[in-house]
């Protein structure tokens, strides 16, 4: 039985919006949801990279829509959802993946630097969830991408990033209880550990080998496909009794 044929894994003919889909984890999410049968709306600020993601979706036999979006702007979030409805007539899944990071010592971080992280990571996720919830039907799913840093540290100065990702855990719980019974929408979060992405390319080799990897029980970076597979399952009918939860996908970093 294939992934698409299995009723507990299939997202056949569903419509999934993925923010931050221009590269890295976002691109992996797009391909995995397409493999599970979903049409995919890819959104980010860099449209030239989005076209590559969209072509990967189409190569898997699914439809893709590219929408340039800055999630920190509520109006653009609403426009993204409107475009999805115009194209596909529905929105079933939102993967709130757009995010930015910084590593600035707390005594030197400016208000502008701190707010820029919160604007994208926290506010952007809220504006997207809000816009999608207005059109989603029962049995829809919202997946917020938090971070292992919501429960531990990476021994780097990342106050704004950590605060934004920890706040997403609380936001996930509250939206789940607001929209579960009233709208039939499940809201959960994934908290990734160390994955090799554009965001983690700034880590120097010594930090990775002497500080980061020794804290990971499985002793390696995660594969984007592993996180994406978890997201597909969480959006599928097989996870239909799960809501308000944050699932750590961190190779054991949070327990080391």
Query: Which pLDDT tens digit goes with each residue over 105-156?
Result: 999 999 999 999 999 999 999 999 999 999 999 999 999 999 999 999 888 8
Name the band, by pLDDT with cuts 50, 70 and 90, for residue 66: very high
Q: Is 123 a catalytic residue?
A: no
For residues 48 and 80, what is the distance between their CA atoms, to the nearest angstrom?
A: 17
Distances (CA, A) of 65 to 53, 88, 132, 141: 10, 9, 16, 19
From the number of C-beta atoms within 10 Å of its C-beta (0-12, 13-18, 19+), residue 73 rates as middle
Residue 226 has pLDDT above 60, yes or no: yes
pLDDT value of position 1: 35
Q: Has residue 8 got a pLDDT over 80?
A: no
**What is the average pLDDT across 52-70?**
97
166 with 144: CB under 8 angstroms?
A: no
What pLDDT, on a 0 to 100 scale, did the predictor assign at position 7? 56
Average pLDDT over residues 25-29: 96
Measured CA to CA, the distance from residue 19 to residue 80 in angstroms comes to 10
Over residues 63-77, the mean pLDDT reads 98
Query: In whole numbers, what is the pLDDT of the chain averaged over residues?
Result: 93
What digits encode the pLDDT tens for the residues 156-209? 889 999 999 999 999 999 999 999 999 999 999 999 999 987 776 777 788 889
The reply to whether CATH 3.40.50.720 applies to domain 15-248 is: yes
Q: How far apart are CA 129 and CA 127, in angstroms?
A: 6
Active-site entry in 8, 161, 203, 241: 161
pLDDT at position 224: 95
Q: What pLDDT shows up at residue 4?
A: 43
């Amino acid at each position: 039985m294939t992934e698409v044929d299995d009723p507990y894994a299939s997202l056949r003919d569903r419509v999934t919006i993925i923010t931050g889909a221009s590269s890295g984890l976002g691109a992996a999410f797009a391909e995995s949801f397409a493999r599970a049968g979903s049409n995919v709306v890819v959104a980010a600020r860099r449209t030239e990279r989005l076209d590559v993601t969209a072509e990967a979706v189409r190569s898997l036999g699914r439809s893709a829509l590219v929408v340039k979006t800055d999630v920190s702007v509520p109006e653009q979030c609403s426009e993204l959802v409107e475009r999805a409805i115009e194209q596909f007539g529905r929105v079933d899944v939102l993967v709130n993946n757009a995010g930015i990071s910084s590593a600035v010592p707390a005594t030197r971080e400016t208000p502008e630097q701190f707010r820029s992280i919160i604007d994208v990571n926290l506010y952007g996720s809220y504006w997207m969830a809000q816009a999608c919830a207005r059109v989603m039907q029962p049995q829809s799913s919202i997946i917020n991408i938090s971070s292992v840093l919501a429960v531990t540290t990476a021994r780097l100065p990342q106050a704004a990033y950590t605060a934004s990702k920890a706040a997403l855990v609380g936001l996930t719980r509250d939206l789940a209880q607001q929209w579960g019974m009233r709208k039939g929408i499940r809201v959960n979060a994934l908290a990734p550990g160390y994955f090799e992405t554009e965001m983690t390319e700034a880590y120097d080799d010594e930090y990775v080998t002497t500080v980061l990897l020794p804290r990971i029980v499985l002793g390696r970076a995660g594969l984007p496909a592993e996180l994406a597979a978890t997201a597909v399952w969480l959006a599928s009918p097989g996870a239909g009794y799960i809501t308000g939860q944050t699932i750590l996908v961190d190779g054991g970093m949070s327990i080391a």
